[in-house]
Amino acid sequence: MEKYFEYKEINLPWLKMIPVNWDIRRNKQFLHECKKTVGDKSSEYTLLSLTLRGVVARDLSENKGKIPASFKAYKIVQPGDIAFCLFDMDETPRTVGLSKYKGMLTGAYNIFHIEGINAQYFYYYYLALDNVKALRPLYTGLRKTINVNTFLSQPMPFPPRAEQDQIVCFLDWKVSEINKLIGIRRKEIQELEELRENTILHTTTSGLDTSVPMKRTDNFWIGTIPEHWNVVQVRRVYSVILGKMLATEPADSSDTYEEYVCAKDVHFDGVDLSDLKQMWFSTSEKQQYKIEANDLLIVEGGAGAGNAALVEEPLDRDVYVQNSIHIVRPKSNRATTKFLAYWMRSMVKRNYMAFVCSVATIPHYTKDKVMSTVMPLPPENEQKEIVRYLDNECEKINNLITKKCSQIATLQELKNSLISDVVTGKIDVRNVTIPKYEHVDDIVDDDLENNEETETDREEA
C-alpha cells in the first residue's frame, strides 16, 4: 500500500510523523466523562465486561467471573460510549473498549461519551496504542495510574472526517478478513485436539492389535476392551499420596523452607517449576512428599481437578507437593505410570470430574476418589507399546497444533500492525475500494478472557 505524499512532525512519545493534511486535537475535545451510577436500578441494565474482545455483555446465569454483592457503584454505559482502564495497565489484557450496549460496567473504568470524531476511529487509534502499551510514559505513582485530566489533555492525530470514515471502513473490512482466517485456524486446532483425545481414548481401551477378540466391561467410561485385559481400580496397582497441608511456620528448628508444587503448576503438558511457592517441611515430610522421577502428579481440587502430569526425569533440585496434589506411583511392574497418565487425561477430557466430584462448590478429586477410579489394565508389555505409540502420535498432532498457533500469532501481529499503520497515517487508504464482506468479530481463547475475572478486585482495590 502507498504512503501519503507528505508528512509533518509532531511531538508524541509514540508517534513522530502524521500526514500533512491531518490535524492534532486533544482528547478533551471529543470526550465527556460519565460518572452516573446505576444505584438501585441495576436490574434495568445489562452487566458488561471489558475483555480482549472489547466490551461484551455477560450472562449472569453462566456464573463466570466474580460477581459483586451489589452493582450500585457500577457506571452506566450507553451504546457508542468509550470505556478506559486508566490504571494498572500492564496487568490488564485490554484497557479500551467501544460499547455497543446499554449496560453497566464496574467503577474501575472511566466511561466517556464521545462526539466530534468517528468513535470507531478513536477506538482503533487507542486500540493500536493499547496493543503495544504505548501509554506507559503517562503512568504515575506506585499503582501506575493515568490521571484523568492528563489523559484528556493528550493530543492525538485527527484526519478529516471523510478520511476517518474511510479508515474505519477499511479496517472493519481487513480486520474481519483476518479474523475469518484466525477462525479457520482455530477450528483446525479444535479438530486436531479432538483427534488427539480420540486417539488416546481408542488406544487406551482397544490397544494396537485390531485382530484380538473384544469383551464388554459394562463400565460406561471404558466400554469394550481386548479380552485378555483386566479392569481394575487405581488402588489395585498404584499407591496414592496426598501432599502436605500448608505450613506457614516451622514446627521445630529442624524444619526447612522448601519449594512445593500446587494445583497451578500441574497441567497435562507438564509441571511448571518456574514460579514455585515455599513452605516448611520436616525431615520425615521431605522423605514422604518429595517428587521423584516417574511420579504422576494429579490435581486434587478446583477448576483443574484431575489434571495430571508425569515427571519423566529427575528434577534438578528437591521439590515437594502441597495437599492440592496427589503423588501416584506404581506398586509393581504390572502398571506403567505413563499409561495411567494417558488414561487420566482421557477421563478428564470426557468430564469424569463432573461425574465423580461435587461441583456445587469446588470440585475435589480426593485420595479415595483417585484410588477408586476404574481403569483398563493391559499386560505390562502392551502398556509400554501403547505409551510409545501415543507419544509418537501425540507429538505429531502437537507439532501441527503448534504450527497453527504460530500462524494465528502471525495473523494477530498482522492485524495489530495494520490497525496501527492505518490510524497513524503510515499508509494511505483514501482511494481503496471496500468490497462487500462478512463481518467477523475478534475471536479470543477462553483462558485469555480474564478481565472479567478480576474487575471486582480492581474496583475494590
| pTM of the predicted structure, to 2 decimals | 0.85
413: in domain = no
Which residue, 345, 361, 377, sits at the end of a domain? Answer: 377
Could you list the residue range(s) of the whole structural domain that residue 111 is in? 7-160+439-460
Indicate if 64 and 155 belong to the same structural domain. Answer: yes
Amino acid letter for position 202: H
Which residue, 359, 377, 395, sits at the end of a domain? Answer: 377
Indicate if 149 and 243 belong to the same structural domain. Answer: no
99: in domain = yes
384: in domain = no
What span, in angstroms and rounded, lies between the C-alpha atoms of 208 and 220? 21
Q: How many domains does the chain have?
A: 2
Indicate if 154 and 277 belong to the same structural domain. Answer: no
CB 159 within 8 A of CB 19: yes
Strand partners, 329: 239
* Radius of gyration from C-alpha coordinates of the chain: 28
89: in domain = yes
382: in domain = no
Q: For position 225, what pLDDT does the model report?
A: 97
CB 28 within 8 A of CB 68: no
Indicate if 131 and 246 belong to the same structural domain. Answer: no
Indicate if 367 and 253 belong to the same structural domain. Answer: yes
Q: What is the pLDDT along the chain (461 residues), one digit of tens a residue?
A: 799 999 999 988 889 999 999 999 999 999 999 999 999 998 899 999 888 888 999 877 666 666 778 899 999 999 999 999 887 656 677 889 999 999 999 988 999 999 999 999 999 999 999 999 888 888 887 777 889 999 999 999 999 999 999 999 999 999 999 999 999 999 999 999 999 999 999 999 999 999 999 999 999 999 999 999 999 999 999 999 999 999 999 999 999 999 999 999 999 999 999 999 999 999 999 999 999 999 999 999 888 999 999 999 999 999 999 999 999 999 988 899 999 999 999 999 999 998 998 766 688 999 999 999 999 999 999 999 999 999 999 999 999 999 999 999 999 999 999 999 999 999 999 999 999 999 998 876 544 444 444 443 344 44
Which residue, 353, 377, 401, sits at the end of a domain? Answer: 377
Residue 91 sits in a domain whose CATH number is 3.90.220.20
Indicate if 267 and 357 belong to the same structural domain. Answer: yes
Indicate if 128 and 244 belong to the same structural domain. Answer: no
366: in domain = yes
Nearest to 126 by CA among 94, 87, 150, 162: 94
397: in domain = no
Indicate if 145 and 32 belong to the same structural domain. Answer: yes
Residue length of the chain = 461
Strand partners, 24: 157
CB 97 within 8 A of CB 124: no
Strand partners, 98: 82
Indicate if 312 and 456 belong to the same structural domain. Answer: no
16: in domain = yes
The span from the first CA to the last CA of the chain, in angstroms, equals 46
What letter would DSSP give residue 5? S
CB 308 within 8 A of CB 374: no
The three three-digit cell numbers of residue 450, written as one number: 480474564
Indicate if 131 and 270 belong to the same structural domain. Answer: no
What letter would DSSP give residue 32? E
Indicate if 356 and 454 belong to the same structural domain. Answer: no
CB 74 within 8 A of CB 107: yes
Indicate if 237 and 353 belong to the same structural domain. Answer: yes
